[in-house]
A = this chain, B = another copy of it.
Amino acid sequence: MECFVLGSGGMMPMPRRHLTSVAVRLQGKIYLFDCGEGTQIPYKKAHLGLRTLGLVATTHLHADHVLGLPGVLMLRAQMPNPGPLKLLGTPGLRRFVKHVRSDLGMYINYNIDVKEWSPEGGELAYDDELIRLYWRPLQHSVTCVGYRLEEHERPGRFDQQAATALGIPRGPLWGRLQAGQEVQVDDCTIRPEQVLGPKRRGRCMAYVTDTARTPTIETLAKDVDIVFIESMFGPDEQDDAAEKKHLTVIQAAQAVQRAGARRAVLVHISPRYEGAAVKRLQAEARKHHPCIEVARDGQLYEVALPD
């Protein structure tokens, strides 16, 4: 699983920092989180391709999270038959997309399916053959959701000794058992669980922005391999953060530490912080989580398969 930080800024795009957006690539498929003004620029820079982009998950209807959508939608329409696209977001996303398509006469040559979060809609936002994506409401000035992406479990390890002891000859039968199918050996039915260890968990990431402190952060980031979390305010700006419904760097670091996240990346950095000030944010965060850093635009974070 590769997580590309296309941008790490909050509020507005800057000459040296694009707006926060993360593209997750898994077995060639791309899942994009948030899409503020200009996101198509680093998207192209990262050479991610557009045919394999099947999902854009937005957190809320503020401009710095969705104004790049029309551009990405049109970019995708540059190729023939790009296949359908799923958009996730909060109530109003469908209307925004409908208005901008019609007001600007956008050419779109594929189906766009918009799904809006609702309190009654449950936690599963999306699933396919690779992942399940969950959403939960955060605490912001408008309805805003955070995401948790879980790769499906993999089959357990194949126990060669057990297979040999059961008299199953090495070859195609082993493959069928590994794929979860029963096989027949000498009139005897062998079930996969006789030769497979316990199922192994898939990889897991969370994407959490914009929000004030809320226990939901810990729910979303519980034991994840990597979490991308907003850190809009500096360590001493609790009051501003609370008023604007954002996190300080300390609140972000503490929340993902409590969640047991293995690794954390701070995004949605305020335009006020540059250069040395960013290093200070990171140093402050490290006091609360051993494996945390401030995102850099263009940085790729790889998540290896767990054992």
- Please determine whether A41 and B13 come into contact, CB atoms closer than 8 angstroms: yes
A68 lies within 8 A of chain B by Cβ: yes
Q: List chain B residues, Cβ under 8 A from A38.
A: 13, 37-38, 41
- Please determine whether A70 and B74 come into contact, CB atoms closer than 8 angstroms: no
Q: Could you tell me the distance between the alpha carbons of A64 and B75 in the complex, rounded to whole angstroms?
A: 11
Chain copies in complex: 2
Interface size class on chain A is: 20 to 34
- Please determine whether A105 and B62 come into contact, CB atoms closer than 8 angstroms: yes
Chain A 57-92, CB within 8 Å of chain B: the 1/0 string? 000011100111011001100000000000000001
Q: List chain B residues, Cβ under 8 A from A12.
A: 40, 71, 74-75
Q: Most B CB atoms within 10 A — which of A40, A45, A95?
A: A40
Nearest chain B CB to A123 CB, angstrom units: 26
Q: List chain B residues, Cβ under 8 A from A42.
A: 15
The one of B14, B44, B103, B105 that contacts A14, using a Cβ cutoff of 8 Å: B44
A104-B61 contact in complex given A40-B37, A67-B70, A67-B71, C-beta closer than 8 Å: yes
- Please determine whether B68 and A74 come into contact, CB atoms closer than 8 angstroms: no
A96 lies within 8 A of chain B by Cβ: yes
Q: List chain B residues, Cβ under 8 A from A106.
A: 63
A100 lies within 8 A of chain B by Cβ: yes
Nearest chain B CB to A93 CB, angstrom units: 9
Q: Most B CB atoms within 10 A — which of A68, A96, A100, A104?
A: A104
Q: Could you tell me the distance between the alpha carbons of A37 and B62 in the complex, rounded to whole angstroms?
A: 16
Q: List chain B residues, Cβ under 8 A from A100.
A: 96, 99-100
27 pairs, CB–CB < 8 Å, chain A vs chain B? A12-B71, A12-B74, A13-B38, A13-B40, A13-B41, A14-B41, A14-B44, A15-B41, A15-B42, A37-B67, A37-B68, A37-B70, A37-B71, A38-B38, A38-B41, A62-B104, A63-B71, A63-B74, A63-B106, A67-B67, A92-B103, A96-B100, A96-B103, A99-B99, A99-B103, A100-B100, A105-B142
Residues of A at the B interface (CB closer than 8 Å) are: 12-15, 37-38, 40-42, 44-45, 61-63, 66-68, 70-71, 74-75, 92, 95-96, 99-100, 103-106, 142
Known: A15-B41, A38-B41, A67-B104. 13 other contacts (CB 8 A): A12-B71, A12-B75, A13-B71, A15-B44, A15-B45, A37-B40, A63-B71, A63-B104, A67-B67, A95-B103, A96-B103, A96-B104, A100-B100
